[in-house]
Amino acid sequence: MPAREQLGALVQRVRPALESLGEYDRVTSELDRVAAQGNGAIRQLRAWRERGEVMDVIEAAAAATLS
């Protein structure tokens, strides 16, 4: 089973707890964002592939952290 499906199943399993904590929408939104944009490692690889410069990777990581 793909990781995205496994995560979806996990979220559904713990949904009552997430909802009671007011976190369900935030968790599902973040999973959707990561699925669409990639995680930190994917973003770093994209930055590296653009020009092959370490500073591009650092700048991309800093921008993601500060936004």
**Residue found under tokens 């699925």:** 35
Residue 5: C-alpha distances to residues 2, 12, 25, 32, 35 (Å) = 5, 11, 17, 12, 11
Contact between residue 52 and residue 46 where contact means Cβ atoms under 8 Å apart: no
Amino acid symbol at 17: A
Average pLDDT over every residue of 10-20 = 98
Supply the pLDDT for residue 37: 85
Tens-place pLDDT, residues 16-64: 999 999 999 999 999 998 988 888 888 899 999 998 999 989 998 898 8
Supply the pLDDT for residue 60: 87
How is the chain split into domains, by residue range? Answer: 3-66
Supply the pLDDT for residue 51: 85
